[in-house]
Structure 1
Amino acid sequence: MSFPKSKIASFDVDAQCGFTPLCPDELPVIGGDEIVPDLNFMASLAGFRVASKDAHSPNAKWVVGSHAEMGVATGLVHADLTWVSHCVPGTPGFELLPGLPKVSEYGFIVYKGLEVDLHPYGALFHDDIMTTGAIEVLRSRGIEKVLVGGLALDYCVKSTVLQLIGAGFKVAVYLPACRAISQETADTALQEMKHAGAVLADNEAALALFAVEGN
């Protein structure tokens, strides 16, 4: 018996221009601007579509002035490393990738990293305790499976996937709909997600099979 589409959600994680070559001064992930068709395919298998967006202050405490200064420990409890300014509301980098739905067309949107001392990677928690509401919304809709893609695989996608699994959802990561900052950290992230129980789907057929197969 086919699994009901109404119990499947797709999750576009931080599919924003600031993480692509469209905004080279921010955090351009190679190929990040190429994932839209795959995110849209992912959504075609789901009955509910959600997304997350980084929404950072230009005065965030973890902001540094150049890419060379990134990756240094900040000493902040909920913002581990320094990064250049990115995804500031009102700028091109904040916008979803061209070809994705309008924000108002999603079922739910998570805005994360609004506070100057917070820089969460996962989309389900603002810090270690306070939820963004995504868990509660998914549960209220009766969602059991979540299909995940977005940017970047080795940071925000990985963290979101692990949080979803921790919340009790069955999760598939659609690899064509993801891009990573580096191959090394991507390999580690894939191992972590697979070990936690995520299905790693590398083609349309594999994702479709995960979506339709029963419990």
Structure 2
Amino acid sequence: MKALIVVDVQNDFCPGGALAVTDGDKVVDPINELSKQFEADGLPIIFTRDWHPANHLSFKENGGIWPPHCIAGTPGAAFHPNLYFPSVAFLVSKATEPDIEAYSGFQGTGLASWLRQIDVDELVIAGLATDYCVKNTVIDAIKLGFKVTLALNAIKAVNVNPTDGETAINEMKSLGVQIV
């Protein structure tokens, strides 16, 4: 069975957010279409979110590389207001421990076990950001034995370096990810 994973389409990763991805909000419409299609087909939909404690190690003041972002319970951690969140969707919070980084939706969440329990073997992955959380979620999915399709029109990169997004896509392709 196939499932959709929507990665971290949160306010802090969209324009005006603490760690805004250029055009990050442009993924909302294609993701909404995918979510509605999966919902109509009765297929599982998973939304991941960064849900950091205020003292998370990824923040600059704690030795990390990022400004504080997606702090649990804040408006920045909320999903983009135009993102369609089906009532049947499964929510996964990641990076919830102050001293553990977690870019992947699989890291420390139990997501893989749950997907296996419901006989999911194929994933469509979309969201933010291509070069970090999307890439790491895809890599973990491949390592865990899932077939992965990446929705190219529904991802955007941080691009700390100008070609990071392109490099991430090429890395995912080299692992056998299908691109649509």
CA 1:62 to 1:44, structure 2 compared with 1: closer, same or farther past 3 Å? closer
CA 1:19 to 1:106, structure 2 compared with 1: closer, same or farther past 3 Å? farther
Q: Which residue is 1:83 aligned to? A: 66
Picking from 164, 171, 176, the partner of 1:192 is: 171
Question: What are the superposed Cα offsets for residues 7-39 of structure 1, whole Å, 9 maximum, x if unpaired?
Answer: 11111001111101132xx10001111211111
Gaps of 5+ in 1: 1-6, 75-80, 127-131, 202-215
Question: Once the two structures are aligned, what percentage of the paired residues are identical?
Answer: 33
Matched position secondary structure for 1:120? coil
CA-based RMSD of the aligned residues comes to: 1.8
Taking the aligned partners of 1:174 and 1:194, their CA distance within structure 2 comes to 12
Q: Which residue is 1:61 aligned to? A: 57
Matched position secondary structure for 1:42? helix
Q: TM-score, normalised by structure 1?
A: 0.75
Picking from 79, 82, 97, the partner of 2:80 is: 97
Partners of 1:50 and 1:106 within 8 A in 2: no
Q: When the two structures are aligned, how many residues end up with a matched partner?
A: 174
Partners of 1:20 and 1:33 within 8 A in 2: yes
Matched position secondary structure for 1:148? strand
Runs of 4 or more above 4 Å deviation: none
Q: Which residue is 2:138 aligned to? A: 161
Taking the aligned partners of 1:31 and 1:62, their CA distance within structure 2 comes to 23
Larger radius of gyration: 1
Cα shift at 1:64:
2.0
Matches within 5 A, 1:1-215: 7-23=1-17, 26-46=18-38, 47-64=43-60, 74=63, 81-102=64-85, 105-126=87-108, 132-182=109-159, 183-201=162-180
Q: TM-score, normalised by structure 2?
A: 0.89
